[in-house]
């Protein structure tokens, strides 16, 4: 069996094992009951990674008036769900769709989104979490269960064997138990796992959920089970220079984006709240008052003879690289736009430029998004050059004038090829 958690062959093999064996265990049934309780009263539900449809059918049994959409990337699992698991009497209320949980969007929003034992095998779990948030109505609930760190996968297999031996079904189901055991062995070392407190922080601090309403464990203690609610109404964002508490949030947001989401910085760069450079920075932040969270931030290194290149002299790229080799972006700043509100980056630019002019400081930024060019022009910012594989000459900017350098046409040579490929995905 190919060791690839995103490959369809893995999930086609496990589909039969799920339907014949896994969903018939007491520990799987207990997990489903815990999810159903947290979805009580929710009428329109999206199941991302619905598999063979066991949870969909259980939700319909609990409330036949529900409307449920199930999405899965494996056609064979959906076939089993249609033909063997989901009862025919629910056919008018259940829609099963072959699709990608990272990108699927329906023409209507949902009261709840649920996902069971999917996220651990996704290459981009944060994209998946963002998409779950996007598919929810305001005030909607997200219920998520997936593997904890270093799960004992053999525990489920051994418990399954014991239960089936006790009820006399072991010989009948031996084949499917073996498939489940083989697939489980392929998971180790490739799983994206979280502890309860970690996933709670991700959901509230980085995805945008207002609060955690439930958090516990299941699946023989090997899974986290977390339920979180989306704010009932998205509020107007406040743009301001950060206070000390907001700076700490901004540092954490910066690390999350640069490491967890895009891997611009390597894992050995630990979650420091700030670096030496930050003592010389103006921090512009976007605050969501509904959650009192920093949802976007911009760091600008003030001019200092020992920190940052002189803004009023010609730009010396080598000097910049030597002084700021630890900074993860090509400029003296980076914008970490929020994941759910459009236009935050531009608002932060505007605040930054106005503050620079008021403080008689020349504001120099790098244009990492081609669409920013027209926005900079409207603000009166002047383009002073481009960066590409052959560095251009930069002319001296006038004092106290917002200026920008266009990076959209190419990336510096000091970027590795691997980082260039990741960077292309952003711009």
Is residue 2 one of the residues assigned to a domain? no
Please check whether residues 139 and 26 belong to one and the same domain.
yes
Task: Please state, in angstroms and rounded to a whole number, the distance separating the CA atoms of residues 409 and 66.
Answer: 51
Specify the pTM: 0.79
Task: Please state, in angstroms and rounded to a whole number, the distance separating the CA atoms of residues 110 and 138.
Answer: 9
Which residues contact residue 412 at a Cβ distance below 8 angstroms, ignoring those fewer than 6 apart?
317, 330, 387, 389, 391
> Do the strands 293-301 and 281-288 form a parallel or antiparallel pair, or are they unpaired?
antiparallel
Q: Which of 217, 167, 193 has the alpha carbon at shortest distance from 27?
A: 217
Please check whether residues 318 and 217 belong to one and the same domain.
no
Tokens 């991302």 sit at which residue? 48
Please check whether residues 244 and 201 belong to one and the same domain.
no
Please check whether residues 152 and 283 belong to one and the same domain.
no
Is residue 3 one of the residues assigned to a domain? no
Domain end among 229, 253, 281: 229
Question: Considering its fold, how many domains does the chain have in total?
Answer: 2
Please check whether residues 175 and 321 belong to one and the same domain.
no
Is residue 1 one of the residues assigned to a domain? no
Is residue 383 one of the residues assigned to a domain? yes
Please check whether residues 323 and 178 belong to one and the same domain.
no
Is residue 85 one of the residues assigned to a domain? yes
Domain end among 208, 229, 250: 229
Please check whether residues 340 and 262 belong to one and the same domain.
yes
Please check whether residues 195 and 247 belong to one and the same domain.
no
Is residue 340 one of the residues assigned to a domain? yes
The CATH number given to whatever domain includes residue 256 is: 3.40.630.30
Task: Give how far Cα 377 sits from Cα of 315, 374, 388, 398, 401, Å.
Answer: 21, 5, 21, 16, 12
Which residues contact residue 350 at a Cβ distance below 8 angstroms, ignoring those fewer than 6 apart?
379
* pLDDT reported for residue 134: 93
The CATH number given to whatever domain includes residue 153 is: 3.40.50.150
Tokens 């815990």 sit at which residue? 34
Please check whether residues 209 and 275 belong to one and the same domain.
no
> Do the strands 223-229 and 238-241 form a parallel or antiparallel pair, or are they unpaired?
unpaired
Range of the domain at 371: 238-426
Please check whether residues 323 and 246 belong to one and the same domain.
yes
Domain end among 184, 204, 229: 229
pLDDT in single tens digits along all 427 residues of the chain: 333 444 455 566 677 777 788 888 999 999 999 999 999 999 999 999 999 999 999 999 999 999 999 999 989 899 999 999 999 999 999 999 999 999 999 999 999 999 999 999 898 899 999 999 999 999 999 999 999 999 998 898 899 999 999 999 888 888 888 888 877 766 656 788 999 999 999 999 999 899 999 999 999 999 999 999 999 987 788 888 888 888 888 888 888 877 787 766 666 555 555 665 566 666 788 888 888 889 888 876 544 444 333 333 333 434 433 443 332 233 445 566 665 666 787 788 788 777 766 666 556 666 656 666 777 777 777 766 554 433 333 334 444 455 565 655 544 444 455 545 544 444 3
Tens of pLDDT, residues 236-250: 888 888 888 888 888
The gap between the terminal CA atoms of the chain, to the nearest Å, is: 37
């Amino acid at each position: 069996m190919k060791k690839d958690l995103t490959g369809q062959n893995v999930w086609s093999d496990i589909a039969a094992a799920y339907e014949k064996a896994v969903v018939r265990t007491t520990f799987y049934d207990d997990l489903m009951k815990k999810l159903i309780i947290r979805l009580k009263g929710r009428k329109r539900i999206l199941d991302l990674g619905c598999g063979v449809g066991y949870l969909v059918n259980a939700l319909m049994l609990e409330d036949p008036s529900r409307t449920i959409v199930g999405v899965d990337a494996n056609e064979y699992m959906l076939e089993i769900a249609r033909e063997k698991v989901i009862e025919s009497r629910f056919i008018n209320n259940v829609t099963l769709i072959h699709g990608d949980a990272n990108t699927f969007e329906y023409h209507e929003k949902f009261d709840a989104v649920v996902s069971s034992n999917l996220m651990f095998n996704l290459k981009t779990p944060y994209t998946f979490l963002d998409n779950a948030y996007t598919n929810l109505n305001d005030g909607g609930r997200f219920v998520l269960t997936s593997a904890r760190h270093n799960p004992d996968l053999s525990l489920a297999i051994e418990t399954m064997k014991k239960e089936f031996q006790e009820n006399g079904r072991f010989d009948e189901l031996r084949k499917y138990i073996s498939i489940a055991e083989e697939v489980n062995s392929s998971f180790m070392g490739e799983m994206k796992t979280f502890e309860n407190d970690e996933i709670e922080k991700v959901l509230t601090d980085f995805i945008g959920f207002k609060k955690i309403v439930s958090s516990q464990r299941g699946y023989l203690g090997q899974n986290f089970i977390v339920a979180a609610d989306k704010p009932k109404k998205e509020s107007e964002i406040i743009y301001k220079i950060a206070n000390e508490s907001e700076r700490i949030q901004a540092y954490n947001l910066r690390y999350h984006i640069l490491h967890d989401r895009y891997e611009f910085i390597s894992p050995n760069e630990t979650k420091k709240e700030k670096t030496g450079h930050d003592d010389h920075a103006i921090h512009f932040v976007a605050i969501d008052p509904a959650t009192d969270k920093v949802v976007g931030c911009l760091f600008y290194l003030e001019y200092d003879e020992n920190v940052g290149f002189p803004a009023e002299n010609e730009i010396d790229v080598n000097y910049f690289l030597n002084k700021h080799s630890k900074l993860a972006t090509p400029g003296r700043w980076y914008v970490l736009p929020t994941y759910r509100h459009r236009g935050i980056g531009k608002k932060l630019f505007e605040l930054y430029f106005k503050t620079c002019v008021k403080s008689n400081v020349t504001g120099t930024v790098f244009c990492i998004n081609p669409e920013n060019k027209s926005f900079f022009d409207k603000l009166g910012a002047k383009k002073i050059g481009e960066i590409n594989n052959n560095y251009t000459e930069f002319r001296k900017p006038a004092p106290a004038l917002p200026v920008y350098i266009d990076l959209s046409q190419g990336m510096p040579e000091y970027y590795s090829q691997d980082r260039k490929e990741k960077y292309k995905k952003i711009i």
